[in-house]
Structure 1
Amino acid sequence: MLDIAEELNPWVEEGRDFAVATVVAVDGSAPRGPGAALAVDAHGTVIGSVSGGCVEGAVYELCVQALQDGRTVRERFGYSDDDAFAVGLTCGGVIDVLVTPVGAQAPALRVGVSAAARKEAVALARVARGPGDLLGRALLVRPDGSCEGGLGGHPDLDRTAAAEARAMLDTGRTGTVEIAEDGSRCRDGVTLFVESRVPPPRMIVFGAVDFATALVRAGRFLGYHVTVCDARPVFATRARFPDADELVVDWPHRYLRRTETDERTVLCVLTHDTRFDVPVLTTALRLPVAFVGAMGSRRTHEDRSRRLREAGITEGELARLRSPIGLDLGARTPEETALSITAEIVALRRGGTGLPLTDSRVPIHHDAAGSEEGKTHSRTAA
């Protein structure tokens, strides 16, 4: 439900009762992943989506029922071989949906929505499978380990759940965790669904050029916190970049050395000037970030690579550079180029090939190898 926190928060502030349906498990191909949510209030107003349209009607009715009887239910939706138009996912996948009524008696859920809407880092752990009296119970966990709410049951259940949720929050993961109901190694346990909400990843665009204007808009659309950095104050202006979250007038390499980055950060160098791009790339290629790309022709790339080697960049470090930046879309305009660049960023993040799906035989919905998002983890208390 943290997936739609910004839209849900006005309902929380108004004190509305609502029911929320959250995708807690996916098997096979499905339009939305774990954490996708749909909410319905007492007036029948709908926010969000769990399937892109396949099962929305049935999920809506489950939410209405949950508002009426106050019960949490878990429902499975999948493809029907007998009737492809029956309630189910015609794409062939299976999703498990947890439907929970959220009233005044659910403070952890309400506080979690408000915190996520404020862009605070929080994890929300809910019982997605287990004893009926525990189903839907929620525990809110913050980075400092403080908690709100509780799962009920054995006292050690909250302690173990909080530790697992905090570990997932540290890496921004959303998924399920199997733990024993009493913290011991017993056969019958509970499945927790943990949603992590962390501040948006950063996209730093170096070079306040025309192409950067379109890239900033595309980056914002994808949910990045976008910074534009250029040493020339006449170009790095709010009038030229109204959509940027942050404008910085400084030498790119100097700013990159002092600003905060992490393994989700995307760095796009559009400067086209060796005075700027070689020093900033020398710093960037040694940082544990998600993506480092640089704009330029193949001839520019060869010259830039030579200069980077002379600056001490190793072949292993140089192999991380995506240059020329972007996928081959035949892009010409700044908007098309921004699409090309962001398409490469998404493909690298999700493990995509960049090929037309028409000609591809790989699964449509997949993540990069080694991705932790959506995986199931089994744990017991130490």
Structure 2
Amino acid sequence: MLELAADLLPRLRAGEPVALVTVTRVARSAPRGAGASMAVTARGEVIGSISGGCVESDAVVLAHAVLADGVARAARFGFSDETAHAAGLACGGTVDVLAYRLAPEDTISRTALDASLADDRVSIAIATRGERQGMILDVEALTAFAPEVAAEMDAAAVLAETRPIADGSWLVLSRAPRARLIIAGAGEHAAALCRIGAAAGFAVTICDPWPLLATRERFPDAAEIVIDTPAEHLATLAPDAVDARTAVCVLTHDERLDIPALHAALGMNVGFVGAMGARSTVAHRLNALRERGVDEGDLARLHSPLGLDLGGASPEEAAVAAIAEILAARHGATGRPLRDLAGPIHARTPADIACALPATPATPASA
């Protein structure tokens, strides 16, 4: 629901009711997780999706029933051990969904959607069963209405984690501000990384001392363009402006800029620090950083040369490789082809990742 804010708010402001279908539970494999939502308007528009397309038609029927009478409905799509349902997931999993009406006068939902659109932290809860099914409450209202689940709600809100609480009676939908990607440099590789990073959901900051390069025309997808030396900009950031999801990528190709920037980034509480460069450049940078007093533990955090080994050479291909490495590092993933691994495809916990072991040990080809 929250991810659809840009599409839902104009319709709600125009007085148009909308039916939402939200995934409340996933068993085995499914394309999208709990919290994924799609919307259906009274005019028949479909916004978003809850799967790879295999259950959307049934979800639309469910949504139209809700629009007709305003009564929330739960359903299960897919296959369970006990029974097969009309709508099946090609991946063999099962999803439970809740269809409910979003009214234009619902101020709690409107406020949450406004916060999501503004990229603020937000959490709301939806009752998934019982006489309250379909009711939407914010943290304060739920605390007053159901004090026994307040602690669970608060924990989900703090972690910005979408999850069921109260034994599945409520689903907390939480959304954190977008992860930050700070790019030092404004060359062609930076432009490509900005485009790919924004498409991957990052709030991208471009930082370069040259205003002729760091322009809105060259970086239309950037959330922020800063005309400054990267090291000085990083030094101005408050501790709470970055976190473990923040990535800093140095693409300046200028030793006078990139070494101070890396020195500053490696001293910050960010989850990823990377830099482009040839291997000889990487070795030179490491020595220069050692001379500045950076210890080996912090140097080990530096991802350089930046990117996974995908074989591409163009700025766009290099950007894909860089984003792939950032995501793999954030999730503790291997970066290996999925076909060479076993276990969950969408690993969500350290235990899941630990289970993603090679399905078949690699065997050297015989001569």
Q: Structure 1-normalised TM-score? A: 0.84
How do residues 241-280 of structure 1 correspond to structure 2 at under 5 angstroms? 241-259=219-237, 260-280=241-261
| Structure 2 equivalent of residue 123 of structure 1 | 123
**Residues 225-263 of structure 1: CA distance to partner in whole angstroms, max 9, x if unpaired?**
111111233432334333322221212111101123222
| Structure 2 equivalent of residue 205 of structure 1 | 183
Distance (Å, rounded) in 2 between the aligned partners of 1:117 and 1:250: 28
How do residues 1-382 of structure 1 correspond to structure 2 at under 5 angstroms? 1-79=1-79, 86-104=86-104, 106-129=106-129, 132-141=130-139, 147=140, 150=141, 157-178=145-166, 191-259=169-237, 260-367=241-348, 369=350
Distance (Å, rounded) in 2 between the aligned partners of 1:125 and 1:370: 27
Higher relative contact order, structure no. (Cα contacts within 8 Å, ≥ 6 residues apart): 1
Greater mean deviation of Cα atoms: 113-122 or 275-284: 113-122
Distance (Å, rounded) in 2 between the aligned partners of 1:365 and 1:158: 33
Does the 8 A contact of 2:79 with 2:85 survive in 1? Answer: no
The offset of 1:105, in angstroms, is 6.3
**Residues 35-65 of structure 1: CA distance to partner in whole angstroms, max 9, x if unpaired?**
2101112222111100120111111111111
Greater mean deviation of Cα atoms: 168-177 or 201-210: 168-177
In structure 2, give the amino acid aligned to 1:206. Answer: A
**Residues 73-110 of structure 1: CA distance to partner in whole angstroms, max 9, x if unpaired?**
22222236899995111202221211111225643223
C-alpha spacing 1:239/1:100, structure 2 compared with 1 (3 Å): closer
Distance (Å, rounded) in 2 between the aligned partners of 1:113 and 1:241: 27
What are structure 2's unaligned runs of at least 5 residues? Answer: 353-367
RMSD (Å), alpha carbons: 2.5
Count of residue pairs the alignment pairs up: 349
In structure 2, give the amino acid aligned to 1:264. Answer: R
| Structure 1 equivalent of residue 363 of structure 2 | none
In structure 2, give the amino acid aligned to 1:236. Answer: A
SS of the residue aligned with 1:51?
coil
C-alpha spacing 1:191/1:327, structure 2 compared with 1 (3 Å): same
Distance (Å, rounded) in 1 between the aligned partners of 2:275 and 2:249: 6
The offset of 1:275, in angstroms, is 1.9
SS of the residue aligned with 2:169?
strand
Does the 8 A contact of 1:84 with 1:90 survive in 2? Answer: no
Higher helix residue share: 2
Q: Structure 2-normalised TM-score? A: 0.87
C-alpha spacing 1:247/1:304, structure 2 compared with 1 (3 Å): same
Greater mean deviation of Cα atoms: 299-308 or 361-370: 361-370
Greater mean deviation of Cα atoms: 205-214 or 231-240: 231-240
| Structure 1 equivalent of residue 359 of structure 2 | none
In structure 2, give the amino acid aligned to 1:251. Answer: T
Distance (Å, rounded) in 2 between the aligned partners of 1:156 and 1:38: 29
The offset of 1:218, in angstroms, is 0.8
The offset of 1:191, in angstroms, is 2.8
**Residues 240-291 of structure 1: CA distance to partner in whole angstroms, max 9, x if unpaired?**
3333222212121111011232222111111222222222212212222121
SS of the residue aligned with 1:312?
coil
Q: How many percent of aligned residue pairs carry the same amino acid?
A: 45
